[in-house]
Amino acid sequence: MELRNVWPRLSAALAVLCLTLASAAYAADPPKHFRGVVTSVKDGVVSIKSVTGKSTDLALNDKTMLFSTTAADLTAITPNRFVGVTSVEMDGKRVAREVHVFDESLRGLGEGHYPWDLDEGPNMMTNANIGKVESVGDDRVLKLDYKGGEQMIAVPPTASIVLFSAAPKGMLKEGDKVFAMASLGTDGHLDAIAFVIGANGQKPPM
């Protein structure tokens, strides 16, 4: 197999490993989340401006990972795909606000069911394998299996659905709409763990 075909898979595998280790390392001090538009990428520092106008600088390093999202629809949600679903509780059931369908090379990324921080009320992120898909009216109801548990989550037609994949180094640029994770370094600066970039000018639904 040619090296150029092996490298993207190896890079994605390393990304999964690094982000898993990072999650464990910051369990006691969860990574900080930032959402906004990249206003500058210069000298190893990425500046992001939020919708409120606040600017934040994140330091890049050799371990910073890049991912990208591209628009998809309900047809991308099929059994045995690994997905990330952000959901809220409505009338006693969990309802998806967004679904990230992971590239197979990223299977296992962030696996579990844990609190998330969308702007609207209490919500959860569930990264898991789709064990079953059922149609209930216009909705899709997913049985999601992850280590230690399972969830049933309804995906309405209004949910944002994207494909989620590893992005090449150098893809991050001024004007990109991003979701970023960072930790507070020992020197007081914010160290970037990962950036999720919305392809074609789209906002990553995270």
How would you write the pLDDT of the chain (206 residues) with one tens digit per residue? 444 443 344 444 444 444 443 444 434 467 899 999 999 999 999 999 999 999 999 999 999 999 999 999 999 999 999 999 999 999 999 999 999 999 999 999 999 999 999 877 799 999 999 999 999 888 999 999 999 999 999 999 999 999 999 999 889 999 999 999 999 888 889 999 999 999 988 999 98
Among 184, 195, 166, 167, smallest CA distance to 46 is for 195
* The pLDDT of residue 25: 40
Q: Facing residues of 195 across strands?
A: 66, 180
What does the DSSP 8-state code read for residue 119?
A: S
Cα distance between residue 4 and residue 198, in whole Å? 25
Q: Start-end ranges of CATH 2.40.50.140 in the chain?
A: 3-67+166-201
Let me know if 53 is exposed, middle or buried by CB neighbors in 10 A (0-12, 13-18, 19+). exposed
Cα distance between residue 12 and residue 103, in whole Å? 9
Among 86, 54, 78, 89, smallest CA distance to 196 is for 86
Which residue type does 201 have? G
The answer to whether the beta carbons of residues 124 and 162 sit under 8 Å apart is no
* The pLDDT of residue 2: 44
Fold classified for 3-67+166-201: OB fold (Dihydrolipoamide Acetyltransferase, E2P) (2.40.50)
Among 32, 65, 61, smallest CA distance to 45 is for 61
Q: Strand 93-102 to strand 160-166: parallel, antiparallel, or no bridges (unpaired)?
A: parallel
* The pLDDT of residue 95: 97
Among 48, 158, 41, 57, smallest CA distance to 99 is for 158
Q: Residue 49 CB: number of other CB atoms within 10 A?
A: 15
